[in-house]
């Protein structure tokens, strides 16, 4: 069995996404990175392919596919344009999948068809100017008013898809985490809200420019200034945010690892091609031992990444928690390996690797974000160490 294509359906999905990516994503990747421009219409068009709601239930317009399918799409997109793939991940994984598995029936029936079709573009807002990994340190608050509505105040930072254009048009709908008080034991109570464009007090503070990488996705600061949200837009009960986070974080980290795999694959492809075409001292540079080390080690890392990504994907059940050891482990390993392989490709290609026209420079820049977003390397190291303390038998199973 091919671990990355465990069924004919998975193989057909890969072929379809790869062909579509070559035709539609590849031609625009260079220009959209160069001008820090998000291809909104291209993302919307993925709704026609059934990919925007890839893991959502079919009854709401989704495709109802599994974690392996999610990994395949993110790998294929990232082999061409990781910035665009990140915008796709923010919409399909951070918003759509979250809603599909945690929302009420009313919320799902009203919103999922719109985000699965591409009519609406979604985002998830957790990080703040002064808080990221420390989720319980978030300062955004939500207070329920006498009429049942909620009033949200705070700012969210680094939000992918937070704005849809350079004019500050906000995401159509955002999955927002906010404090709603403390529980009976004095612990911070985090709750989840669906904030929709047009709701009073919801706006874009700024689009964030001059990012090192992932420039083809829009990153924004969102402002909630006495933002009024209807009572029916709270997800679940007050204080349930951590439950929502746990299962969805595992899928998010898997798909970020799949993005790293796509970056590594393309980088390896480019360096291998260049090493054959380029000659020095009357021989192909692939005959030099130094070049062979870069190519050989990159191949081994890439194959290890591929095996780990799809082994984790095949074991992960969407909508449940319990795979944190490997969802953290696979992201910890692959994101660093992707950056190393992109760096090796730049070294093999010399000056050509250092300019944007030859792709690997962009892939190298994009790879860095994967070591930060969706959980830092340090948070993965902490989680793995804690989990192995609780379950040391995982090493020998």
Task: Indicate which residues carry an active-site annotation.
Answer: 252
Residue 28's region, left for phi above 0, alpha for psi from -120 to 50, else beta, is: alpha
Counting Cβ atoms within 10 Å, is residue 209 exposed (0-12), middle (13-18) or buried (19+)? exposed
Q: Pairing relation of β-strands 173-182 and 219-229? A: unpaired
- The two structure tokens encoding residue 77: 């997109």
User: Within its chain, how far is the Cα of 374 from the centroid?
Assistant: 7
DSSP helix/strand/coil, 129: coil
Torsion, Cα 328 89 133 173, to 10 degrees, reads: -150
CA distance 230 to 94: 22
Which residue in 138, 128, 113 sits closest to 50, CA to CA? 113
CA distance 384 to 375: 12
Q: What is the 3-state secondary structure (H, E, C) of 173-233?
A: EEEEEEEEEECCCCCEEEEEEEEECCCCCEEEEEECCCCCCCCCCCEEEEEEEEEEECHHH
CA distance 267 to 369: 16
CA distance 140 to 224: 8
DSSP helix/strand/coil, 24: helix
Residue 184's region, left for phi above 0, alpha for psi from -120 to 50, else beta, is: alpha
Which residue in 323, 335, 322, 343 sits closest to 376, CA to CA? 335
Q: What's 137's DSSP letter? A: G
User: Are the beta carbons of 4 and 72 closer than 8 angstroms?
Assistant: yes
How many residues are given for the chain?
Answer: 397
User: Are the beta carbons of 190 and 179 closer than 8 angstroms?
Assistant: yes
């Amino acid at each position: 069995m091919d671990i990355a294509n465990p069924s004919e359906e998975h193989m057909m999905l890969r072929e379809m996404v790869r062909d579509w990516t070559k035709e539609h994503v590849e031609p625009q990747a260079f220009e959209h990175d160069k001008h820090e421009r998000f291809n909104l219409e291209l993302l919307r068009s993925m709704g026609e392919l059934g990919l925007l709601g890839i893991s959502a239930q079919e009854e709401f317009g989704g495709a109802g596919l599994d974690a392996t399918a999610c990994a395949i799409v993110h790998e294929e997109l990232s082999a061409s344009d990781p910035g665009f793939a990140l915008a796709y991940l923010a919409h399909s994984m951070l918003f759509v999948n979250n809603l599909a598995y945690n929302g009420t029936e009313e919320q799902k029936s009203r919103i999922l068809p719109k985000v699965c079709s591409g009519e609406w573009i979604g985002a998830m807002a957790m990080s703040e100017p002064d808080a990221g990994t420390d989720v319980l340190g978030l300062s955004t608050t939500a207070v329920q008013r006498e009429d049942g509505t909620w009033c949200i105040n705070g700012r969210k930072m680094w939000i992918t898809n937070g704005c849809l254009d350079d004019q500050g048009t906000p995401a159509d709908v955002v999955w927002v985490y906010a404090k709603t008080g403390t529980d009976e034991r004095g612990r911070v109570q985090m709750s989840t809200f669906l904030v929709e464009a047009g709701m009073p007090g919801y706006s874009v503070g700024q689009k964030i420019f001059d990012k090192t990488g992932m420039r083809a996705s829009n990153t924004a600061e969102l402002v909630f200034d006495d933002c009024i949200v209807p009572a029916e837009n709270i997800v679940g009960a007050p204080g349930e945010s951590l439950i929502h986070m746990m299962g969805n974080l595992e899928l998010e980290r898997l798909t970020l690892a799949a993005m790293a795999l796509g970056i590594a694959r393309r980088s390896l492809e480019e360096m291998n091609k260049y090493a054959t075409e380029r000659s020095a001292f009357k021989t192909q540079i692939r005959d030099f031992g130094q070049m062979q080390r870069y190519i050989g080690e990159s191949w081994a890392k890439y194959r290890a990444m591929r095996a780990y990504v799809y082994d984790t994907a095949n074991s992960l059940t969407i909508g449940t928690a319990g795979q944190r050891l490997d969802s953290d482990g696979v992201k910890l390993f692959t994101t660093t390996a992707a950056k190393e392989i992109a760096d090796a490709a730049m070294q093999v290609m010399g000056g050509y690797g250092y300019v944007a026209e030859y792709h690997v420079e962009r892939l190298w820049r994009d790879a860095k974000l994967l070591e930060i977003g969706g959980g830092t390397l340090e948070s993965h190291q902490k989680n793995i160490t804690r989990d192995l303390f609780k379950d040391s038998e995982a090493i020998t199973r």
